[in-house]
Amino acid sequence: MGYTLVYTQVLEFLPYLIKGAWISLQIAILAFFGGMFFGLILATVRTFGNNISNKIVICYVTFFTNTPQLVQIYFLFFALPEFGILLSPYIAVLLGMTLNAAAYLCEIQRAGFLSIRQNELDAAKTLNFSLFQQVKYVILPHIMRVLFPPLSNHYIIMTLGTSMAAIFGVEELTGRAFNINSETFRSVEIFSITALIYIVITFIATFLLAIIGRYFFKAKIRIIQ
């Protein structure tokens, strides 16, 4: 075991890794908000839809929450070309993560709908609140306060999950770490720096989300888990 740590040989690649981290953030942000939008539609159908539409949503959620996300992206990238649909690695990963997130965020947002107390709505009606006032002052604040912590946690998980994009040749943070490692063979140095960048990204994201949650929605989020 004569391995000697030589970080000076890999520090020159730090800007290259940081650019990869930016691509990781792009994928995570786009997939999260896309998943939240489609998840909101699914949650609305799941809560207020008829029996048929409800069963369709249940099947969708069951499939995407009980199969590996990596397999889902493999299908989009390798199976769809058999039907004439060609997706770039970036689009395949982004679409796969979005569809997967929609299933999980559907259940999270549905839980927010179901957590509203009927007596709060009854009190708002007693005070002659309009529907807009009920949504603004009763429903929305309650839902956001309840949902913000689990939504924030899911975003952090998705940010770390972007590393699977490297398997498909996307040059995000992990993909660029692979490239540098194949050139320098300094595995310990490269992947320890990569891990540190992930830690910094998630810590900053958690810190910002905690501030936003506490200031705007009075939600309690731990900065250090």
Q: pLDDT digits over 116-132, tens only?
A: 777 877 787 788 887 66
Q: pLDDT digits over 174-190, tens only?
A: 999 999 999 988 899 99
In a domain, 225, yes or no: no
**CA 165 – CA 70 distance, rounded (Å):** 9
pLDDT at 76: 95
In a domain, 209, yes or no: yes
Domain count, the chain: 1
Angle at 55 between CA 38 and CA 43, to 5 degrees: 30
Q: pLDDT digits over 21-57, tens only?
A: 999 999 999 999 999 899 988 988 887 778 999 999 9
In a domain, 224, yes or no: no
In a domain, 1, yes or no: no
Q: Domain of residue 11: give its range.
A: 7-216
In a domain, 103, yes or no: yes
In a domain, 222, yes or no: no
pLDDT at 101: 96
Residues 6+ apart with CB under 8 A from 163: 24, 172, 173, 174, 198
- Check which CATH number belongs to the domain holding 63 and give it: 1.10.3720.10
pTM for the whole structure: 0.86
Q: How confident is the model at residue 222 (pLDDT cuts 50, 70, 90)?
A: low
In a domain, 114, yes or no: yes
Q: What is the mean pLDDT of the chain?
A: 87
**CA 102 – CA 105 distance, rounded (Å):** 5
Task: Tell me the average pLDDT across 158-178.
Answer: 94
